[in-house]
Structure 1
Amino acid sequence: MNIGAPILVFFAVLLLVLGGLILIESGRGDRRLRTRIKEMGEGPAVAGARDLDLIRLRRYSEIPVLERLLSAGKLGEAISLFLLQANVSMSVGAFVLLSLTLAVSGLLIGAYVGRLAIATPILFFGLGAIPFLVVARKRRRRLQRFMEQFPDALELIANALRAGMALSGALRIVAHEMPNPVGGEFWVATEEHNLGLDIKESLMRLNRRVDIPDVRFFVTAVVLQRETGGNLAEILDNTTSIIRDRFRILSEARVLSAQGRLSGVALVLLPIVMTGVLSVIAPGYLNILVTDQAGKYMLGACLVLMVIGILAIRKIVRIRV
C-alpha cells in the first residue's frame, strides 16, 4: 500500500524536528556544564549569591514536556541508571529522542515500501530498539570486564588492610592502581566519601551502579564487618577465592555448552540463508508469501516462531553460576 506525498512530507518534517530536539538536548547540557564550572571558578561569593542547594538536582531532559514525562514515574531513573552502567555520556532525553527518531524512520520506510504489512511494525520496533541494544551490549561488556578485574581489586584491598591501612585508604589504592572500569568506579566511591558521604553509603551507591553479585557480596561483607567486627582481610580473601572458583566453573560450563550455542546460531541463520539462496536461483518461488494473504500470515507466524526459538535456545545455553 503506497502512501501519498503529504504523509511522506509529514514524516520527513517529524524526523527533522526530532533530530533538532536531539541537538538542542545535547547542546543545552554542555552550556549548563560550562556555566556551572565558570561559577565555581569565580569563588564562593558568586556561587553563594544564588540559592544553590547542596543536593544535586537531576534533570533527565532540557525539554520541559519530556522532562515531566520522564520524571513522572521511574522510567527516567531506570534509563539513567542503564546509561550510567554502560558508561554512556548521553543524556536520558537525547537517548529517548534518538530511539523515537529511529522508530519513526522505520515507520516511514515500512509505509513507503508497503509490500508487506508486517514489515512496518517490525521496522518500527526494530530500528527503535537499536539504541537500547547498543547500550545493552556496552553495558554487558563493561560489567564483564569489571567482574574479571574485581578479584584482583579485592586482593589488593585485603593486602592493604593487612599492611595497617584503613578501608578508605585501601579503596583509594584500588582507585589509583586498577584500570577501568574497576578503578573508575572505586574512584567515584572514594570521592563521594571524601565529600562527606559515609563509607557504607558510598559502597551502597557502588553496588547500585555495578549491579553484579560479586559487588553485593563485597558490600555485604564490609557492612557486616563494620557492624559486628571481624577480620575483613580474611573475609575478602575467602570472597576472592569463591569468585575465582565461580569463574572457573563458568568457563568449564561455557566450553561444554559451546555446541549448543553453535547449533542455535545455525538454526537461526538457516532460514535466512535458504531464503537468500532461493531468491537467487528461483526469483519468483517465494512471491506467494508476499502476494497471497495466507502467505503473509504464514510468514508472520514463522517470524514469531523464530523469535520464540531464539529465546528458548538462549535460555537453555545461558548458564549462570
Structure 2
Amino acid sequence: MLFLLAGVLGFVTIAGLGFVFAGGDGGSTKTVKRAQLIAGGDRQAVAARAKANANTPDVRRKQILKTLKEQDQQKKKASLTIAARLRAAGLGDNTRMFWIVSGGIGLAVGLVLLVLRQMPLIALGAAFAAGVGLPRWVVGMLAKARTKKFTEAFSDAIDIIVRGIKSGLPVHDCLKIIGKECPEPLAGEFRMLTENVGMGMSMEQALERMYERMPTSELRFFTIVLSIQAKTGGNLAEALGNLSVVLRARKLMAEKIKALSAEAVASAVIIGSLPPAVVALITITAPTYMAPMFTDPRGHLMLLAGGFWMSTGIFVMRKMINFKF
C-alpha cells in the first residue's frame, strides 16, 4: 500500500513538473495571442476612427478645395498657350501661321532699323520685341475683348434657355435660338455647340470643347449645372435661373470693383507714363540736351537701368490694382 501511494505521488510529481516545463508556454502563448487580438482591435479602432475623421465635412471641404485649385491651375496653364489664346480670339488654332507672321514682323522691323543705320544691338532687340511681344499682345487684346463680349451677353442667353424650358421647348432648341438671336461671339459659339451635339457628341463633351475655345468662369458654371442635371435630374429651369442671378450679381460686383479702383488705375497710368513722356518732350524741344543720353555708352546704361526700374514699378502697380472676382 505504501509502495502504491509512493508511486501515485511520484507520478503526480513528475506530471506536475512536466506540465510546468513543457506546457507552461501554452498559457503564455494564449496570453500573447490575447494581447495581440486586443492590440489588433485597438489598431482597427484607430483605423476606423481615422476613416471617420476623414469623412467629416471639414476634411471633405478641404479635399474639394484642393481638387478645384489643382484643376484651376491646370486650366490656367492650358489657357496661357498660344493655341488657347488664338481660339479665344476667334482666330482658330493654327500656331504655325502665328509663328510665321511673328517671324516676318520681327524680320521686317530689324531690317528697317538696319536700313536706318541703327546699332545692330538695338535692331536685334527691337526685332525680338516686335516678333515675340507684339503679336502676343495683339492676340491677347483680341481674346480679352471677345471674352468680354461673350460674358456680357451670357446671362441673357441663360434667361432664353430658362424661358424656353418653362414654355416646353427642349434644351437643344433653346440653344439653337441663342445661336440665331444673340449677338456675336455668343451666337457663333452656341451654333458650334449645337452642330457638335447634332453630329453625335454628348452635351458634356460639346460644352468642354466650348470651354476650351472660351475659358470663362461663367461658362464653367453653366457646364457644371447641365452636367449635374443630366446625371441626377431635377428642375433645370430653376437651376439655370439661380445661375443667371449669380452671374448678374458677379457682373454687378465687377462693375463696382471697377468703379472703386478707377482712381488707383488712373494714378498708375499717369505715374507709369510720366517719365517716358518727359523724355520724349525734352528730346523734341531740346534734342542737343538729350543727345548724349542716346549716343554715349553711359547714357545707354542709364536708359537700361531706368527701363528696368520702370518695368518693375509698372509690374508692382499692376499687381496692386488687378482685382480678381
State whether TM-score is above 0.5.
yes
Alignment deviations for residues 258-284 of structure 1 (CA, whole Å, 9 cap, x no partner)? 111111111122112211221233222
Could you say which residue in structure 1 is the equivalent of 2:3?
A: none
Question: Is 1:249 aligned to residue 236 of structure 2?
Answer: no
1:213 Cα deviation after fit: 0.3
1:84 Cα deviation after fit: 2.1
Q: Give yes or no for contact 1:146–1:182 (8 Å, CA) kept in 2.
A: yes
- Which aligned pairs between 1:144-223 and structure 2 lie closer than 5 A? 144-223=148-227
Q: What is the distance in 1 between the residues matched to 2:139 and 2:198?
A: 31
Q: Give yes or no for contact 1:156–1:174 (8 Å, CA) kept in 2.
A: yes
Question: Is 1:94 aligned to residue 97 of structure 2?
Answer: yes
Q: Decide which moves more: 216-225 or 168-177.
A: 168-177
SS of the residue corresponding to residue 290 of structure 2 reads: coil
Could you say which residue in structure 1 is the equivalent of 2:241?
A: 237
Could you say which residue in structure 1 is the equivalent of 2:87?
A: 84
1:121 Cα deviation after fit: 4.3
Q: What is the distance in 2 between the residues matched to 1:282 and 1:244?
A: 54
Q: Give yes or no for contact 2:84–2:93 (8 Å, CA) kept in 1.
A: no
Give the partner amino acid of 2:243.
Answer: T
Q: Give yes or no for contact 2:179–2:190 (8 Å, CA) kept in 1.
A: yes
Q: Give yes or no for contact 1:147–1:214 (8 Å, CA) kept in 2.
A: yes
Q: Give yes or no for contact 1:116–1:290 (8 Å, CA) kept in 2.
A: no
Question: Is 1:126 aligned to residue 129 of structure 2?
Answer: yes
1:191 Cα deviation after fit: 0.5
Alignment deviations for residues 23-48 of structure 1 (CA, whole Å, 9 cap, x no partner)? xxxxxxxxxxxxxxxxxxxxxxxxxx
Q: What is the distance in 2 between the residues matched to 1:247 and 1:194?
A: 32
Q: What is the distance in 2 between the residues matched to 1:121 and 1:304?
A: 18
Q: What is the distance in 2 between the residues matched to 1:211 and 1:150?
A: 13
Find 1:262's aligned residue among 261, 266, 272. Answer: 266
Identity, % of aligned positions: 28
The structure with more radius of gyration: 2
Could you say which residue in structure 2 is the equivalent of 1:288?
A: 292
Give the partner amino acid of 1:99.
Answer: S
Find 1:104's aligned residue among 95, 103, 107. Answer: 107
Q: What is the distance in 2 between the residues matched to 1:272 and 1:118?
A: 21
Give the gaps of 5 or more residues in structure 1: 1-73
TM-score by length of 2: 0.70
Could you say which residue in structure 2 is the equivalent of 1:227?
A: 231
SS of the residue corresponding to residue 130 of structure 2 reads: helix
TM-score by length of 1: 0.71
- Which aligned pairs between 1:40-119 and structure 2 lie closer than 5 A? 78-88=81-91, 91-112=94-115, 119=122
Question: Is 1:298 aligned to residue 302 of structure 2?
Answer: yes
Give the partner amino acid of 2:104.
Answer: T
1:82 Cα deviation after fit: 2.1
Aligned residues: 247
1:220 Cα deviation after fit: 0.6
1:114 Cα deviation after fit: 5.9
Q: Give yes or no for contact 1:111–1:120 (8 Å, CA) kept in 2.
A: yes
Question: Is 1:319 aligned to residue 306 of structure 2?
Answer: no
Q: Decide which moves more: 310-319 or 243-252.
A: 310-319
1:111 Cα deviation after fit: 4.4
- Which aligned pairs between 1:3-14 and structure 2 lie closer than 5 A? none
Q: Give yes or no for contact 1:153–1:178 (8 Å, CA) kept in 2.
A: yes
Which structure's residues are more often helix, by fraction? 2
Q: Give yes or no for contact 1:85–1:139 (8 Å, CA) kept in 2.
A: yes
Find 1:141's aligned residue among 145, 161, 165. Answer: 145
SS of the residue corresponding to residue 234 of structure 2 reads: coil
Q: What is the distance in 2 between the residues matched to 1:306 and 1:112?
A: 30
1:102 Cα deviation after fit: 1.2
The higher-RCO structure (CA 8 Å, 6+ apart) is 1
1:225 Cα deviation after fit: 1.1
